[in-house]
Amino acid sequence: MNTLRIGLISVSDRAANGIYQDEGLPALEAWLTEALATPFEIEKRLVPDEQPMIEQAICELVDELFCHLVLTTGGTGPARRDVTPDATLAVADREMPGFGEQMRQISLNFVPTAILSRQVGVIRKQSLIVNLPGQPKSIRETLEGLKDAEGRAKVPGIFASVPYCIQLLEGPYVETNAAVVAAFRPKSARRETKG
């Protein structure tokens, strides 16, 4: 069985230098544990806002550890030190613009400054790489989307598309906990789950 491997990178000068506790990695790990029904392994990296170090972390997770999915958190704004999208694009084979578009669309429901986010989604080799926001609340919102009072998705989160993307990249068949986020794939790509 091809185990799902996920790389997590938190980009923060202050957290990398021990000035404060990183919140991105624990938030991502907790969310993935809730959301995924498929067993998975996680590799974590905490790096400062330095483009060469971010590029190196992404390349190591993809090229050496063969992660199917790499999620970054932090460093996506317009400030001079925010270079996560630049590093991501520098090591990408192909861009997946829908991820950034959808994350900004979700965040605009909460803050008008969402348009300042430069988050991107890309493919490198067998891996999908997505830049997420830095705040745990925003991470959850962009992954899950917006739900109505009954818990139905009003605006789909980006993670609904991730399992099918991994499948198209010849990775493992990923199933989610539909109460958190329902994976969407065309009927032709669905497998019967063993009950």
Once rounded to an integer, what is the mean pLDDT over residues 147-155? 81
Is pTM, for the whole model, over 0.85? Answer: yes
CB atoms within 10 A of CB 188: 5
**For residue 36, what is the DSSP state?**
B
Give the CB-side neighbour count of residue 46, counting CA atoms within 13 A.
16
pLDDT at 164 over 80: yes
pLDDT at 98 over 80: yes
Indicate whether 36 belongs to any domain: yes
pLDDT at 152 over 80: no
pLDDT at 194 over 60: no
**For residue 91, what is the DSSP state?**
T
CB 41 within 8 A of CB 76: no
- Rg over CA atoms, the chain: 16
Indicate whether 194 belongs to any domain: no
pLDDT at 1 over 80: no
Indicate whether 179 belongs to any domain: yes
101-125 tens-digit pLDDT: 999 999 999 999 999 999 999 999 9
CATH code for the domain in which residue 149 is found:
3.40.980.10
Indicate whether 195 belongs to any domain: no
The DSSP H or E segment spanning 153 is strand 153-156
Indicate whether 66 belongs to any domain: yes
Q: pLDDT category, 195, cuts 50, 70, 90?
A: very low
Q: Where do the H-state alpha helices sit in 10-150?
A: 13-16, 24-35, 51-59, 84-90, 97-107, 136-144
How many domains does the chain contain in total? 1
60-96 tens-digit pLDDT: 999 999 999 999 999 999 999 999 999 999 999 999 9
CB 84 within 8 A of CB 131: yes
**Range of the structural domain that residue 118 is part of:** 4-189
